[in-house]
Structure 1
């Protein structure tokens, strides 16, 4: 892939201009490259006729990750640097937007956009379900939420798995308050936590473990909350409990506009997938399709 840039002059005063979106300026502002190194790359670039990013890599002053970060920034595409965030590096969409995993989530996002989100004016709430634990449900929900937010959609990721909450750990946020607090009328709406470094993405953790998870999710208050959330967000992604272990998942799916099923290769049994799909339909849930993880 050819990496193009518009860094024409290595003047340090220009490198300090926050409005410049050339690769060199972006890398200097982010602390990935010194102004002196940017000037040296530019001088070498003029001699060899290569692009700025390619020249910097050849000189050992830039990594491929640095160049990809700069390109993503040029397109206003949120990308994190490994080792610089509390967010789990398992989230490929946040750290490696040019990798195969991120591309797979973009393909899934496109299918959802064209076949569901844009096809139905009421489509906003998507639940992610799986038969049992350990099948990658939270991983898919988190990466999919990042992917939607990178498209510019204001996205809320909600953890409805009170017993085995995972999303707060993925994003490095506290879980002292959250959905359970809201459902027990112990708080107001200001529990949406913005995800640092990823524009347009907010998370609502599960909150403290309540003694009655299934009952809380069955109440009309949960449906009312989701309806209220749609006034503030373009799309809601709901992580759910394991569907064949707890009945909570069917309750959440019924209150969603649609669901996707996550299966894991060499882990999920075919008969359990069939049982899960039948169970969702029986409870009034709309299943759009399935995602197979091969790890």
Structure 2
């Protein structure tokens, strides 16, 4: 008996081969494809290995083709330019990307405790420069690579960066969270990330003069509740704790937080003060992560 339903089996049969994907990526001519096939038969190799040995493709091209077959979003060498900080996309098989996958697994296990309501995850840190935006962007990519709809909210209305990391500035006037909370936003403030179908970003938009007041308003909590019903994962980038109470308020609205510290930079006293400030908060601290980037 065939364990795969007919519809699924037909779908699998229609998956493009590694050879077809490499040929498309590298724009190989019919003559070059024939050379690869002949070399493949002669030496008993896979198409990708034969193409690499003939110099028609790179190892990265083969990994990219495999990722496409397994519906695993990664950056193509021939695709649009990306911020070098998006290592989960540009270097998906490297040590840094693996570290983000490990962090993803640990955080998901703690977020998905039985009997708990769905919660957003706020990333907080003591000082500017601790790497929250870098961490949030790559963790969001890692979450989206699981296939669930993932939303990254840039709530750092003091020093926003997510619109730069995901190249949203070139898409016209970039409205976002601040515009929504002030009642000034139009449609389409949530942007889908090109090349990662399940990843969406809500940028800050117009930097406001009153960021703390905006996140303290009931509208922010209502917005999060609505978004948690529309997305599988909601991740929030926050301002440094030393700049104000924004991160504390945002984490309380989210319900869960992870503290980020930077190796050789974060001060222990500031880190202890930050963790201690959550002792009477409704937000649950899921752990402390040290950024070595």
TM-score when normalising by structure 1: 0.89
Q: CA deviation at 1:203?
A: 0.5
Query: Which whole-Å CA distance do the structure 2 matches of 1:201 and 1:22 have between them?
Result: 26
Aligned to 2:4: none
Residues 133-171 of structure 1 show CA distances to partners (whole Å, capped at 9, x for unaligned) of 111111110001111111011011100011100000000
Q: Tell me whether 260-269 or 159-168 shows the greater mean CA deviation.
A: 260-269
Identify if the C-alpha distance between structure 1 residues 43 and 83 changes in structure 2 by more than 3 Å, giving closer, same or farther. Answer: closer
Q: Tell me whether 35-44 or 116-125 shows the greater mean CA deviation.
A: 116-125
Q: CA deviation at 1:42?
A: 1.8
Q: Is the 8 A contact 1:261 1:287 kept in 2?
A: yes
Alpha-carbon RMSD: 1.8
Query: Which whole-Å CA distance do the structure 1 matches of 2:60 and 2:146 have between them?
Result: 21
Written as runs of structure 1 = structure 2, the 5 A alignment for 1:261-272 is: 261-272=259-270
Residues 79-133 of structure 1 show CA distances to partners (whole Å, capped at 9, x for unaligned) of 1124632431211111222111111111111112222235455233011111111
Q: Does 1:217 align with 2:215?
A: yes
Query: Which whole-Å CA distance do the structure 1 matches of 2:28 and 2:89 have between them?
Result: 21
Aligned to 2:213, the other structure's residue is in SS state helix
Q: Is the 8 A contact 1:28 1:35 kept in 2?
A: no
Aligned residues, how many?
Answer: 278
Aligned to 1:132, the other structure's residue is in SS state coil
Residues 39-87 of structure 1 show CA distances to partners (whole Å, capped at 9, x for unaligned) of 3222111111122222222222111110110110010011112463243
Identify if the C-alpha distance between structure 1 residues 32 and 150 changes in structure 2 by more than 3 Å, giving closer, same or farther. Answer: farther
Q: Does 1:275 align with 2:273?
A: yes
Q: Tell me whether 38-47 or 111-120 shows the greater mean CA deviation.
A: 111-120
TM-score when normalising by structure 2: 0.89
Q: Which runs of 5+ in 1 are unaligned?
A: 1-17
Query: Which whole-Å CA distance do the structure 1 matches of 2:201 and 2:108 have between them?
Result: 21
Q: Tell me whether 254-263 or 182-191 shows the greater mean CA deviation.
A: 182-191
Aligned to 1:126, the other structure's residue is in SS state strand
Aligned to 2:34: 39
Aligned to 1:61, the other structure's residue is in SS state coil
Picking from 75, 79, 83, the partner of 1:80 is 75
Q: Does 1:146 align with 2:141?
A: yes
Aligned to 2:101: 106
Identify if the C-alpha distance between structure 1 residues 239 and 120 changes in structure 2 by more than 3 Å, giving closer, same or farther. Answer: farther
Q: Is the 8 A contact 1:32 1:66 kept in 2?
A: no
Aligned to 1:97: 92
Picking from 21, 25, 47, the partner of 1:30 is 25
Aligned to 1:152, the other structure's residue is in SS state coil
Aligned to 1:171: 166
Aligned to 1:13: none
